[in-house]
Chain A
Amino acid sequence: MTKPALPDAEDLLAGLIERMRVSVTPDTALIGIHTGGVWLAQRLHKALALRQPLGTIDVSFYRDDYGSRGLHAKVRPSDIPFEVVDADIVLVDDVLHTGRTIRAAMNELFDYGRPQSIRLAALIDRGGRQLPIAAQFVGAEVSVADGEQIELTRNEQDRLSLVLTRQGAA
């Protein structure tokens, strides 16, 4: 079985930058969700020349599957180096799927304060939402089978690419 070709991550990122450029202000704050979302947010932050320092978030302490799966094996510190109260925030993630990660990220953000607004940017929207969550900025919509995962990877030259993996596959 041949894998369906995934779009080029760098092309999608370039499109995402253009779409966001027209609707962010210099004071818009970006928060990347670990790990792929942080890579994207770093690139977006630079390309959009934003004034606020970049934030990063790890949603492990807010996940809704802690009761069944326990604490994530690798938790990184969340770092929100700007005032969240009244901020105009764009959350950045690599792949938008069920929406549960975004729910967790929003819950965590509200423990820092009450933002003016939160929007969502995702490189890939693969559908399959289980919560009423939508992205305002999307690189591409891609449909893949249920058991498949789209992962963002980054090489030593900081080049981003997408790979398709199957759950349970070697």
Chain B
Amino acid sequence: MTGLNPQLNANGELQHLLTIEGLPREIVLHILDTAHSFLSVGEREIKKVPLLRGKAIFNLFFEASTRTRTTFEIAAKRLSADVINLNVGTSSQSKGETLLDTVANLSAMHADMFVVRHSQSGAAHLIARHVAPYIHVINAGDGRHAHPTQGLLDMFTIRHYKKEFSSLRVAIVGDVLHSRVARSQIHALTTLGVPEVRVIGPRTLLPTNVSELGVHVHHDMATGLKDVDVVIMLRLQNERMNGALLPSAQEFFKYYGLTPEKLANAKPDAIVMHPGPMNRGIEIDSSVADGRQSVILPQVTFGIAVRMAVMAILAGNA
């Protein structure tokens, strides 16, 4: 591991995927282009390619996840890798083993790649700094910090429907404060040259310094959604509903929930995205979630292709 960016090897190739922040634009585009080719593999009778035969990929999930863990598992299997799923919260860690000891033990079982989700920001970075040089680490979500494959699959989705990034207006709506997804999306959109990124939400749910990331801040949906091409809704984290940040879920829905009326402010062909899991009736109305502008389910399908691309590129950069 050399230089300022611990994600890149000495040749400037992707060694780990930890965050989109600071990732060269060419690497982001290479991942998206490669994912495009993997998409057609998913439409075949036999949805597998032999690239990662004999490789062992460990899904290390210290935090609950269904969609992300499952799509990583499918992606690895479609690359012909062996996949081992560990819900670590329920095993060694509860017996007192440290994160690095867990990883060292799994490395001794000849792991080639770790896919890591952890509630602590920086957990994947920590593992990446300590593994042997032939082992690759993918961050599948760390604390409030980053969720790079979600950010990439969102970019893939946007490009699929909108073709070019260079003329888009994109709005990210809701609980930006707690969202690692939003951070990854903002870095990705900026890296890809989207000229106008907006965040919309109540002051209590936007980070105080969010405008430093190059986004326009709005507190009102009607002006925030005006003429946007893409609306990205974030999950309002229910566990925070009883804190001082919000009066109530009903109140939030009234002002920030995406209804057909609010969506009418966006361009007529705007797409609606959501990383899941959705809270219907809190951040998004069912008629929008299931409506013609929703691309929420295609996002999931694209997520498999994007994760295949990331794994295939990493494992090839020995």
A79 near B316: Cβ-Cβ < 8 Å: no
CB contacts between A and B, total, < 8 Å: 50
B37 near A79: Cβ-Cβ < 8 Å: no
A78 near B50: Cβ-Cβ < 8 Å: no
A61 near B51: Cβ-Cβ < 8 Å: yes
A112 interface residue (CB < 8 Å to B): yes
Compute how far the CA of A82 lies from the CA of B34 in the bound complex, rounded to whole angstroms: 23
A69 near B316: Cβ-Cβ < 8 Å: yes
Main secondary structure of the interface of A (DSSP, over half): loop
Which B residues touch A67, using CB under 8 A?
318
What per-residue 1/0 map shows which CB atoms of A103-115 lie under 8 Å from chain B?
Answer: 0000110011100
B316 near A78: Cβ-Cβ < 8 Å: no
Compute how far the CA of A71 lies from the CA of B45 in the bound complex, rounded to whole angstroms: 23
Main secondary structure of the interface of B (DSSP, over half): helix
Q: How far is the CB of B75 from chain A (nearest CB, A)?
A: 13
B34 near A75: Cβ-Cβ < 8 Å: yes
Compute how far the CA of A78 lies from the CA of B36 in the bound complex, rounded to whole angstroms: 10
B37 near A58: Cβ-Cβ < 8 Å: yes
Compute how far the CA of A111 lies from the CA of B80 in the bound complex, rounded to whole angstroms: 13
Contact partner, A71, options B39, B40, B46, B313, Cβ 8 Å: B313
What per-residue 1/0 map shows which CB atoms of A53-85 lie under 8 Å from chain B?
Answer: 000001011100011111101111111000000
Compute how far the CA of A111 lies from the CA of B30 in the bound complex, rounded to whole angstroms: 25
What per-residue 1/0 map shows which CB atoms of B157-179 lie under 8 Å from chain A?
Answer: 00000000000000000000000
Which B residues touch A66, using CB under 8 A?
51, 316
A75 near B49: Cβ-Cβ < 8 Å: no
Which A residues touch B313, using CB under 8 A?
70-71
A106-126: which have CB < 8 Å to B? 107-108, 111-113
A61 near B45: Cβ-Cβ < 8 Å: no
Compute how far the CA of A78 lies from the CA of B46 in the bound complex, rounded to whole angstroms: 14
Compute how far the CA of A66 lies from the CA of B311 in the bound complex, rounded to whole angstroms: 13
A112 near B50: Cβ-Cβ < 8 Å: no
Which B residues touch A68, using CB under 8 A?
318
Which A residues touch B44, using CB under 8 A?
111-112
Q: How far is the CB of B255 from chain A (nearest CB, A)?
A: 43
Compute how far the CA of A25 lies from the CA of B37 in the bound complex, rounded to whole angstroms: 31
B45 near A77: Cβ-Cβ < 8 Å: no
Interface size class of B (residues with CB under 8 A): 20 to 34
Which B residues touch A62, using CB under 8 A?
49-50
B33 interface residue (CB < 8 Å to A): yes
A70 near B48: Cβ-Cβ < 8 Å: no
Q: How far is the CB of A82 from chain B (nearest CB, A)?
A: 13
What per-residue 1/0 map shows which CB atoms of B5-39 lie under 8 Å from chain A?
Answer: 00000000100000000000000001001101111
B312 interface residue (CB < 8 Å to A): yes
B50 near A75: Cβ-Cβ < 8 Å: no
Compute how far the CA of A162 lies from the CA of B232 in the bound complex, rounded to whole angstroms: 49
Contact A78 B51, CB 8 Å, known A111-B45, A112-B45: no
A77 near B36: Cβ-Cβ < 8 Å: yes
Compute how far the CA of A61 lies from the CA of B51 in the bound complex, rounded to whole angstroms: 6
Which A residues touch B38, using CB under 8 A?
61
B191 interface residue (CB < 8 Å to A): no
Which B residues touch A113, using CB under 8 A?
45
Compute how far the CA of A70 lies from the CA of B134 in the bound complex, rounded to whole angstroms: 13
Contact A75 B33, CB 8 Å, known A111-B45, A113-B45: yes
B30 near A73: Cβ-Cβ < 8 Å: yes
B41 interface residue (CB < 8 Å to A): yes
Compute how far the CA of A111 lies from the CA of B44 in the bound complex, rounded to whole angstroms: 8
Q: Write the chain B residue with the least CB distance to A113.
A: B45
| CB<8 Å pairs between A and B, sample of 22 | A58-B37, A61-B49, A61-B50, A61-B51, A61-B312, A62-B49, A62-B50, A66-B316, A67-B318, A68-B318, A70-B316, A71-B51, A71-B312, A71-B316, A77-B36, A77-B40, A78-B37, A78-B40, A107-B50, A111-B46, A111-B48, A112-B46
